[in-house]
């Protein structure tokens, strides 16, 4: 029964295995992280993206240019605006990232990226892959670092989400074996686990964090989550000064709300899809997904973005000038710290704190009864 369908599915599966094994070989040859200190010049590519993206990204760029004024004059830093990472451009090229845009991106060292529209079933766009996911794969940005801080509640979490594997690696390569049977794949590799887990421990060590927590569903998803968890405990042995524990994803979503537990978590490392889910929950606790920034770090490239979407409705209603640029400015602060401008990053974080928590002279409502993104960026710059 179903002989032909099974053969066709096996062939498709074989191709997927070949592709993933090639990726393993590539990972084996990967060197160390880029050392920005040794670069004469750092090129920051700016991709505005879709919807409110260009508006809020431009404000973040203004703030960064203000902070880096001397470095820009000296020629150490260059900002390069990259147009074309828009849903229209991507739909026309029928590619998640058009070739010429990808080439421009790859000529930069780091990228500041606004939100991009991800087509979904039923909307007017062709089914091109998410630009985020494509960029993470193309630039091999395996570590997605998402800090969540709620100082008044004593919460300081840093999530290290694996960014290239899990349910995302072959997300568009699932197989409809028959009309009734659909199969998707979760991909995990030793190299992929090792590099994200090591990155989380290195971050913990460098930032004097005392606990690293792994989150999986290894009791059920035994092979892939099992490998992740085994790798976690193997690597933990190299960091005897750091306390480790692990939780299953379901109870972890509850524990982030548990008054007796939530403050214990410091650095959390987890596979791609669990990281996607739990970082939205965590960001919501901080004040909404609009407040969070995210760093996508690879060995050669890094990309910094907001974790929210492109809010096309705001643009349709002509409200993009009122969109809150905080998430992108926060992403900008992470970018500064990543390329070695720690002091400037600290100043920016402090200004963000003043403008969004302690003083809050301007309020963003997303509408004309609130401040514009430009006014808010000015407010931040006044506080630098
Ligand atoms: C995120 C987003 C993306 C993801 C989407 C836009 C593809 O939700 O960065 O968390 O699923 O990773
Ligand atoms: Mg998400």
Could you tell me if residue 6 is inside a domain? yes
Supply the angle between the helices 224-236 and 190-206 in degrees, to the nearest 10: 40
Q: Whose CA is nearest to atom 1 of ligand 1?
A: 307
Q: How many CB atoms lie within 10 A of CB 241?
A: 7
Q: Which ligand is nearest to the CA of 163?
A: 1
Which residue is associated with the tokens 């699932």? 174
Could you tell me if residue 130 is inside a domain? yes
218 and 241 housed in the same domain: yes
Burial class (CB in 10 A: 0-12, 13-18, 19+), 65: middle
Q: Measured in angstroms, how far is the CA atom of residue 60 from the centroid of ligand 1?
A: 20
Q: Which residues contact 210 (CB under 8 A, 6 or more apart)?
A: 204, 241, 242, 243, 266
Which residue is associated with the tokens 């008044």? 152
Could you tell me if residue 146 is inside a domain? no
Q: pLDDT per position in the chain (384 positions), as tens? A: 899 999 999 999 999 999 999 999 999 999 899 999 999 999 999 999 999 999 999 999 999 999 999 999 999 999 999 999 999 999 999 999 999 999 999 999 999 999 999 888 888 888 888 899 899 999 999 999 999 989 889 999 999 999 999 999 998 899 999 999 999 999 999 999 999 999 999 999 999 999 999 999 999 999 999 999 999 999 999 999 999 999 999 999 999 999 999 999 999 999 999 999 999 999 999 888 878 889 999 999 999 998 888 999 999 999 999 999 999 999 999 999 999 999 999 999 999 989 988 899 999 999 999 999 999 999 999 999
Q: Whose CA is nearest to atom 12 of ligand 1?
A: 276
Exposure string (b/e) for 67-76, b if CB count within 10 Å is 16 or more? bbeebbeeee
From 244, 259, 288, give the residue that closes a domain: 288
23 and 155 housed in the same domain: yes
Residue range of the domain that includes 349 = 31-141+298-383
Angle subtended at Cα 121 by Cα 118 and Cα 126, rounded to the nearest 5 degrees:
65
Q: Measured in angstroms, how far is the CA atom of residue 309 from the centroid of ligand 1?
A: 8
**CATH no. for residue 373?**
3.40.718.10
Q: What gap in Å lies between CA 269 and CA 246, rounded to an integer?
A: 9
From 268, 288, 308, give the residue that closes a domain: 288
Name the strands in the sheet holding 211-216, side by side, starting at the edge strand that comes first in the sequence: 77-81, 42-47, 110-113, 302-306, 293-297, 143-150, 155-162, 267-270, 211-216, 243-248
From 264, 288, 312, give the residue that closes a domain: 288
36 and 137 housed in the same domain: yes
Q: What is the pTM of this model?
A: 0.92
SS3 155: strand
Q: How many CB atoms lie within 10 A of CB 311?
A: 23
Q: Measured in angstroms, how far is the CA atom of residue 254 from the centroid of ligand 2?
A: 18
| Contact assessment for residue 127 and residue 91, using Cβ atoms and an 8 Å cutoff | no
| Contact assessment for residue 332 and residue 304, using Cβ atoms and an 8 Å cutoff | yes
């Amino acid at each position: 029964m179903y002989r032909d369908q099974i053969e066709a599915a096996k062939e498709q599966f074989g191709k997927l295995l070949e592709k993933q094994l090639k990726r393993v070989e590539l990972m084996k040859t990967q060197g160390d992280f880029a050392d920005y200190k040794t670069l004469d010049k750092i090129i920051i590519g700016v991709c505005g993206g879709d919807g409110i993206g260009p508006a809020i990204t431009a404000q973040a760029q203004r703030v960064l240019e203000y902070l880096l004024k001397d470095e820009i004059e000296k020629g150490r830093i260059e900002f390069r605006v990259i147009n074309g990472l828009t849903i229209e451009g991507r739909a026309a090229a029928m590619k998640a990232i058009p070739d010429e845009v990808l080439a421009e991106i790859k000529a930069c060292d780091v990228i500041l990226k606004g939100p991009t529209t991800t087509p979904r079933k039923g909307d007017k766009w062709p089914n091109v892959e998410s630009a985020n996911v494509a960029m993470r794969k193309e630039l091999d940005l395996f570590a997605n670092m998402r800090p969540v801080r709620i100082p008044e509640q004593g919460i300081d979490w840093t999530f290290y989400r694996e960014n290239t594997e899990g349910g995302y690696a072959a997300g568009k390569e699932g197989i409809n074996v028959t009309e009734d049977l659909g199969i998707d794949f979760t991909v995990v590799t030793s190299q992929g686990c090792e590099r994200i887990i090591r990155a989380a421990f290195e971050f913990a060590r460098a930032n004097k964090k005392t606990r690293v927590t792994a989150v999986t569903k290894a009791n059920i998803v035994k092979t892939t989550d099992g490998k992740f968890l085994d790798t976690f405990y193997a690597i933990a042995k190299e960091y005897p000064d750091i306390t480790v524990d692990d939780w299953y994803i379901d109870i972890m979503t509850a524990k982030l709300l548990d008054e007796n537990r939530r403050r214990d978590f410091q650095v959390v490392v987890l596979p791609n899809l669990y990281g996607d889910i739990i970082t939205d929950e965590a960001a919501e606790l901080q004040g909404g997904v609009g407040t969070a920034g995210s760093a996508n770090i690879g060995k050669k490239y890094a990309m910094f973005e907001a974790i929210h979407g492109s809010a096309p409705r705001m643009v349709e209603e002509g409200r993009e000038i009122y969109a809150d640029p905080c998430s992108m400015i926060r992403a900008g602060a992470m970018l500064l710290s990543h390329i070695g401008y720690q002091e400037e990053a600290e100043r920016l974080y402090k200004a963000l704190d003043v403008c969004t928590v302690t003083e809050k002279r301007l309020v963003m409502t997303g509408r004309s009864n609130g401040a514009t993104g430009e006014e808010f960026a000015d407010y931040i710059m006044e506080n630098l």
